Structure 1
């Protein structure tokens, strides 16, 4: 005899795997504050200087702002967030503490990872390595890194210290790599050599990885095979810029490299324009790369579901099956391809059997 279970009538809506936001910055958003456009800059160092100038003020509202961003993600069907959190000499661990409080409030509806992120460099400020150690001992679950060439201006030293810290705390590494061209490619290639030498396979993600964009197709394929061998995941966002070529997402996936798409930041000092809808990013990817067939559209959904799609390459249903986690996004659509192409706005998230119900007072800071 079957045990009694409660049932929820979803009125014929389509069930999809819950979405995963794998590249985000909960501590940076201006959400819940008044309108503020960002100031144009000509290089990364200028952007970082502008960000540093407002860190102290923004730290006071980090829990409130992070909560507002989390609620936006939940409303769009996201039940997992990997967030980078600034760990820097200007505010220490204050952003980390605020983000932790925000995430804690929403644990019934999502899982999360916290990346201790040295946004203002690992080497320039002597206190940063110890601050990262404190963060990893205080709730951060992943070690971040940023442009060993462009920001730290010392590729070997920066990579070596990053590996030493990762091994010290036995944590994965998520490395932001904006550097383009040969230096960006060299940084990734050198890190893979360290990973192999240190036995750290399966512990790395490259965020952005812009250095892959302008390689020849043959080099892209060969390097994708290296990434797969070391089980490196690529975290990117769409679009990068109309002035710059996208990284070779299709080539990477064809070679067995897992690629995840995230919103990065939205409505912050870097960019005021993003909606925060991760599904919109998938639609943009399909538009930019000319994907329009039923199969191409539905397979692109895997960019935001950790590769899980309802149908396999042959069109046979492979998800959900008995025993799968009861985490879904319910939408008004006939199939997953239509969802990618049309981006329905009314969505209902279920996380581990629990329906998310938005509340107008959830993002009030905790006492």
Structure 2
């Protein structure tokens, strides 16, 4: 296949030749050359690696349903109870909602997805099975990882660990954890279950961390100790963790260095929060950082629209980035950054100016989008998009092909 007349990362107009699922060659565009049959017409659009949403809760989505007032209270446990009280009463069955949301994400350019699936004594495996069904329906259009996620904690409700193990037996790709100190109030017991099941089923670990300041650092240090002791370098992700930079500069630098050394990834949803570790410093240190949308207009919040280009804008905005190199870095995090979080074979970003993913040999997971420059694409978030997964066009104009 030939992708004709595109600008990789906003560079010169080029023709990109694909060989199956890989990029074979990138050549200067020849406007006089006839267009071969079956080529993708770039029309001078930007060519970017496709998006990676590495932190999304497909299991609670309300995308496509009537808007409802937000009824959640403060705190993780209160919000979880709000979701528990309402998720069964939605206008459309959960499997249909999950599949429709995943399709909408792919149509907007996301071909790598790490999704949470809540597992607890209330929903048991019902939410997990709805996400599995969506993966089975659209797994040929995107890479999809499913996390067995203890949103309600592991130790507060008897039997939760058994349901988590059942999800892993049924094929969950990642073992989740959440706030070992503030939710379960037993960090050792919580992490024993998380890392024990991950080691037993040979899956990655992803820890939701909302804990503040010194307490968040304490939990993080326990996670780093286990990562080192169990040889799980490259298989652990810290999600949110938005107060790890709030203690002092020396602690921030130490954590960044340890994340880089142990290849511990970070997943952000671009929150408007102070005290975060510096995205620039994380990237310069070679720490894998991915981006996600979190909830999708669900019972937790009214935000989320399935568009990672929109979330890239939010990442730039909440970091107060203005320079092109920093806005483009947000695109790199939202694309190849997340790809490296899901697949350790994908190289880490080498710094703020690194723009990988579009060279010969790279995987042909791509998105074409209108824009003068990558920064203008983030600011304008156009809809003239073409999406490819493994060298095959899967979406055009925000609709699946």
Equivalent position to 2:195, from 148, 151, 163: 163
Q: Distance in 2 between matches of 1:326 and 1:42?
A: 43
Task: Note the C-alpha offset of 1:100.
Answer: 1.1
Give the structure 2 partner of residue 291 of structure 1: 321
Is the aligned partner of 1:216 residue 2:254? no
Give the structure 2 partner of residue 178 of structure 1: 210
Partner SS, residue 47 of structure 1: helix
| Cα deviations by residue, 1:191-220 (Å, 9 ceiling, x for unpaired) | 111221222222100110123131222221
Is the aligned partner of 1:125 residue 2:157? yes
Is the aligned partner of 1:339 residue 2:377? yes
Q: Which has the higher strand share?
A: 2
Q: 2:328 touches 2:375 (CA, 8 Å); kept in 1?
A: yes
TM-score (norm. length: structure 1): 0.89
Q: 1:312 to 1:89 in 2, by over 3 A?
A: closer
Q: Distance in 1 between matches of 2:269 and 2:95?
A: 24
Give the structure 1 partner of residue 223 of structure 2: 191
Q: 2:241 touches 2:276 (CA, 8 Å); kept in 1?
A: no
Is the aligned partner of 1:322 residue 2:322? no
Q: Which runs of 5+ in 1 are unaligned?
A: 363-367
Worse-matched range after superposition: 343-352 or 84-93: 343-352
| Cα deviations by residue, 1:153-191 (Å, 9 ceiling, x for unpaired) | 111111122111111111110010111111111001111
Partner SS, residue 175 of structure 1: strand
Worse-matched range after superposition: 184-193 or 332-341: 332-341
Partner SS, residue 276 of structure 1: coil
Q: 1:187 to 1:316 in 2, by over 3 A?
A: closer
Equivalent position to 1:86, from 94, 101, 118: 118
Equivalent position to 1:259, from 283, 289, 302: 289
Q: Distance in 1 between matches of 2:379 and 2:399?
A: 33
Q: Distance in 2 between matches of 1:290 and 1:359?
A: 30
Worse-matched range after superposition: 344-353 or 165-174: 344-353
Q: Which runs of 5+ in 2 are unaligned?
A: 1-16, 20-35, 340-346
Q: Distance in 1 between matches of 2:131 and 2:177?
A: 19
| Cα deviations by residue, 1:229-265 (Å, 9 ceiling, x for unpaired) | 1111001111245xx4444222222222111111001
Q: Distance in 2 between matches of 1:222 and 1:236?
A: 19
Give the structure 2 partner of residue 365 of structure 1: none
Q: 1:176 touches 1:207 (CA, 8 Å); kept in 2?
A: yes
| Cα deviations by residue, 1:277-326 (Å, 9 ceiling, x for unpaired) | 222222222233332223222222111112389x9879798652223222
Q: Distance in 2 between matches of 1:66 and 1:316?
A: 34
Q: 1:59 touches 1:94 (CA, 8 Å); kept in 2?
A: no
Find runs of 4+ consecutive structure 1 residues off by over 6 angstroms. 2-5, 311-317, 358-362
Q: 1:139 to 1:240 in 2, by over 3 A?
A: farther
Give the structure 1 partner of residue 9 of structure 2: none
Partner SS, residue 58 of structure 2: coil
| Cα deviations by residue, 1:2-59 (Å, 9 ceiling, x for unpaired) | 9997322232222110010000011101123322122141322211211222344459
